[in-house]
Amino acid sequence: AAGVIQSPRHLIKEKRETATLKCYPIPRHDTVYWYQQGPGQDPQFLISFYEKMQSDKGSIPDRFSAQQFSDYHSELNMSSLELGDSALYFCASSLKGLAGEETQYFGPGTRLLVL
């Protein structure tokens, strides 16, 4: 079965640089979530999109932005990178149920290292 695809899998950047992370959801899934997992931490919700519109926002820095495109893939843009942005970034996709019940399926993550 098709899974969530994330690219790149690994990324090394310098401070103050910019990074773009991409996420390709499972076909026919209409919702994408982004999470950040610091070393030894639990994943923290950043932002989500439903049918190409932002649906919820969590602890996402103003330096970050994201969008979902017409083909449902999503990109997380990170500018002015800081050392503390080094983390594993997960994308998850889901299909909204009638009652809002849904199961999120996670991609393998992008490991970002900021030097």
CA distance 26 to 105: 8
What six digits make up the tokens of 56? 């919820």
- Residues in region 1-30 near other proteins by CB under 8 A: none
CA proximity to 37, closest of 74, 75, 88: 88
Of 34, 13, 32, 22, whose CA–CA distance to 84 is shortest?
13
- Selected binder of other proteins within 19, 94, 112, 114 (CB under 8 A): 94
Residue 59 touches other proteins, criterion: CB under 8 A: no
49 binds other proteins (CB under 8 A): no
Residues that bind other proteins (CB under 8 A): 31, 33, 35, 41-45, 48, 55-56, 58, 90, 92, 94, 96, 99-109
